Amino acid sequence: MATRADLLLETARLGSDKLEYLAHDLRVSKGGHADDLLRRRMLALDLDPYEMALSDPALLRHLKRRCALCQSREDCASDLARASTGQACQGRDDWRDYCENALALEMLIALRSRSKAASKYQCPYID
C-alpha cells in the first residue's frame, strides 16, 4: 500500500498542468449531478449520450468536464425541469445563453441533421 509520501512524490512527478487536468477529471467523476444535467440536456436536444460514449468518448469527457465546472448548473436544472413539465421559458433561448457546451452541442445537432439528410439522397453513380 502506498504511503502518503509516495503519493505526494507521484503527484509532484505529474507536473502542474497534468495535475490540474486530473483534478478536473476527479471533480467530474464525483459530480454526478453535472453528468446528469449533461445527459438530460443531450436527451432534450435529441442527442444520444450512450452513442457519443461509444463513438467519441474524448468529446463526451470534455463536455462532462465543462459541465462540472459550469457556474450555471442551477439555471440548467431549473430550465430542464420546466421543459420536462411542458413549461417553456418565455422570451429566451435559455440554455444557449449560459451553457458552456452550447457551441459543441449545436455542432453535434448540425452534424446529426446533416448526416440524416445525406442518407436520404442516393448517389446515382454508385450501385
DSSP conformation class of 87: -
Alpha-carbon dihedral sign for residues 15, 17, 20, 21: negative
Angle (CA) 70 76 82, round 5°: 175
pLDDT in tens, 39-53: 999 999 999 999 999
| Domain edges within the chain | 10-119
Predicted TM-score (pTM) of the model is 0.63
pLDDT in tens, 68-112: 999 999 999 988 888 777 665 444 567 888 999 999 999 999 988
Whether residue 118 is predicted with pLDDT greater than 70 in this model: the reply is no
Whether residue 34 is predicted with pLDDT greater than 50 in this model: the reply is yes
Percent of the chain with pLDDT over 90: 36
